[in-house]
Amino acid sequence: MKTNPCIHTAPLPRGGRSAGAASLTQPGLVVFALCSALLLLSGCSSKKYLMPTPSVYTQPEWNPFAEVPAELQGDTVSVLYITDRALDKEATESVAYGDRRSRSMAFGEAKVTFGDDLPWDQIVQASRTDKRSEKIELKLASTTELARFAPTPPKLVLTDAQLAAFVKAEADATQLEAERRFREDLAARLAKTDRKEVFIYVHGFANSFENATLTTAEVWHFLGREGVPICYTWPAGAGGLLGYQYTLESTQFTVYHFKQALRLIASCPEVEKVHIIAHSRGTAVTTDAIRELHLEIRGTANTQETLKLGTVVLAAADIDLDVVIARNATERIGQAVERAAVYISNHDKALGISGWLFGGVRRLGDADTKMFDEDELNALRSSQRLQLIDARIKQAGLIGHSYFHHNAAVSSDIVLLLRYQLPPGADHGRPLSASELGLWVIDDDYPGATWSLPDPAKAE
């Protein structure tokens, strides 16, 4: 979800049915409160600047960009995108995607520029300091659709003979050609980097195609421009109460396509591992897709090996916590990934609003360990696969929902997790502190003044 610097209002009550919420008895006040809350979630049109430098990159003796290949340097980042957004028919100058849904998935290239003709050394310098002399504006320079997959399903109405044979040569040819071109493009991108892994970003509510690709580009930049960045962008609502309702159903609509995308990426022989960063309602898309794929695969194969799933990051997850436990924990979808890191924050006002709208039901992104019994807490403490990370931060913007890249401490931990694959704990070079309740804890001072990346991970 995009934060909205244009709207200023007092935060709504957390937990839903508080005295403050109950006092909104007149229909007009209720509607006003709902609309104000969702305007906060939707964002307003504004320029986007390069995210704050992760704190781990500010050590003057260390250049984390020293080993970026020459071909991947420069002020332009090429993002591979996959989308089931419908084309914007009103766009005349170039390919553009809106918030409507498309039954056919497409892929292409989005080029993102950092500043206005900035030299590489200046971008690197700005990416290693917490106090930049000038903001670096990110812009979507161009969008090129490279291929479109067959609609799903190819036909809504099939004869008995078609259903029995399931032979649709035209649709098959379209699908096979799009898959071939995708694998070819992805292989060419992987050839430019020593790290044969992909990093998929799945956005949340009220994110435009442009915003999603810009965020993908900046996060990949701070991952050292290693591997290949992929933006999976789906038809999220444009904001407001109706937009949020539309988004909830779009998360269900897009799951089948995201499953297609994950299978396709894993089918590329050059790909060694797939990592996912999911934010807000994008976490529902991600967990539902992995759950369904796990149910489909686990009877005959190892899901993790089949899909090559490495680390899955769930940040500010806007999912009903009871639903997560009932649908995902019971099906053991954690077995489908190497590790999962769930970032939670009780300062996330957007999730407070979301929980309030849904009658006080707590969201995964602001989970409270008081909900778990002693055996469950013991399991959290000992888990090698699940990391539950409590972001006790204050520097996270007006709403505090996009802290995974707006907060320099949290983005630092994501860098240590995804780029360097470090386990939690100071002994491993990732100095999260452990709470007595089974969570890892991070604050605004992370990783601390005495921190240094352990060799041999540190670039010279």
**What residues contact 326, with CB distance under 8 A and at least 6 apart?**
none
68-91 mean pLDDT: 94
Q: Give the pLDDT score at 330.
A: 78
Q: Where is pLDDT greater, at 380 or 131?
A: 131
Q: Give the pLDDT score at 172.
A: 78
Q: What are the tens digits of pLDDT across the range 337-356?
A: 999 999 998 777 777 666 65
**Would the pLDDT of 99 be above 70?**
yes
DSSP-based three-state secondary structure for 425: strand
Give first-to-last CA distance, the chain, whole Å.
Answer: 37
| 163-187 as b/e: b if 16+ CB within 10 A | eeeeebeebeebbeebbeebbebbe
Q: Give the pLDDT score at 166.
A: 53
Q: Using 50, 70 and 90 to split pLDDT, how confident is the model at 358?
A: low
Q: Give the pLDDT score at 32.
A: 41
**Would the pLDDT of 16 be above 50?**
no
Q: Give the pLDDT score at 348.
A: 75
Q: What are the tens digits of pLDDT across the range 155-209?
A: 666 666 655 555 554 557 889 999 999 999 999 999 999 999 999 999 998 899 9
Looking at every residue in the chain, the average pLDDT score rounds to 84
How far apart CA 396 and CA 426 sit, in angstroms, is 24
Which segment of 388-392, 401-405, 432-436 scores lowest on mean pLDDT?
Answer: 432-436
**Residue 434, H or E segment:** strand 433-434
User: Measuring CA to CA, which residue among 136, 169, 33, 143 is closest to residue 88?
Assistant: 143
**Would the pLDDT of 407 be above 80?**
yes
- Given a contact cutoff of 8 angstroms between Cβ atoms, the answer to whether 254 and 104 are in contact is no
Q: Give the pLDDT score at 326.
A: 83
Q: Where is pLDDT greater, at 17 or 452?
A: 452
Q: Using 50, 70 and 90 to split pLDDT, how confident is the model at 13?
A: very low
User: Measuring CA to CA, which residue among 399, 392, 380 is closest to residue 341?
Assistant: 380
Q: Give the pLDDT score at 43.
A: 43
Q: What are the tens digits of pLDDT across the range 276-286?
A: 999 999 999 99
Q: Using 50, 70 and 90 to split pLDDT, how confident is the model at 384?
A: confident
* pTM confidence score: 0.87
